[in-house]
Chain A
């Protein structure tokens, strides 16, 4: 558990850099976190991030299959938005915990 300063804000993060307090999240933080991974956020990215945050709040276990069926983006599109970590990176940028699902 640690803290880091990003986009002129101090956020709480765990060892792997996932935010531990979703209320500290905003769009600037998201953009800065994405930049660290090498992703430039578009409106489509934010649609996915909003969906993830929403579902996380509802206590759902997130999977790429669910995101693929959300109507926002299909699975191929999700891989294109977040190359190399469709669920891992999107969750990190959305300021929610690392997904604990295998699918």
Chain B
């Protein structure tokens, strides 16, 4: 039997959350796509907008409260009360960013630049922008446009296209 290869041609990735892990899932998937010659369109909405907002993009946090997968260095469970102490979440998040840097994973602004350098396109959700009272000026310069969900869907057509929600 001949295996029929139907390579992926386009991915449309929607990022609605603003924690480090949610945003990086989006960025790694998008960058990995353009590196393989797959077209990538990114749509940031709700808290995901933090990833493309100049003020917040390089200061994303991960949750130290209510995150059952959070562990201390060494693997012990990370107590929720510890995560609630002021400054702990910031410290843990900056440690995570440092560890990523050591693996050559860039900060958010540089990652977005890498994706657009490869032809990836970045969009912001109009409704969420209105809700958070953001304007285009608040957004990173590589953001192509602010779109309604309908306009974004209009870009997601074509054969061998997948929509991914992170």
Contact = CB atoms under 8 A, between A and B. Distances in A.
Contacts of B36: 84-85, 88
A87 B35 contact: yes
Instruction: Classify the interface of chain A: helix, strand, loop or mixed.
Output: loop
B35 A88 contact: yes
Contact of A66 (B31, B34, B104): B104
A76 B120 CA distance: 11
Interface string A38-67: 000000000000000000000001011110
Given A85-B37, A102-B32, A65 B113 contact: no
Given A68-B114, A75-B113, A79-B119, A103 B31 contact: yes
A12 interface: no
B117 A63 contact: no
Interface residues of A, number: 19
A33 to B, nearest CB: 17
Given A84-B37, A85-B36, A103 B117 contact: no
Interface size class of B (residues with CB under 8 A): 10 to 19
Nearest to A76: B117
A22 interface: no
A65 B106 contact: yes
Interface in A56-103: 61, 63-66, 68, 74-76, 79, 83-88, 101-103
Contact of B117 (A66, A75, A84, A87): A75
Contacts of B34: 79
20 contacts: A61-B104, A64-B114, A65-B104, A65-B106, A75-B114, A75-B117, A75-B118, A79-B119, A83-B37, A84-B36, A85-B35, A85-B36, A85-B37, A86-B35, A86-B118, A88-B35, A88-B36, A103-B31, A103-B105, A103-B106
Given A102-B32, A103-B28, 13 more contacts: A61-B104, A64-B35, A75-B117, A76-B117, A79-B118, A79-B119, A83-B37, A85-B37, A86-B118, A87-B35, A101-B104, A103-B105, A103-B114
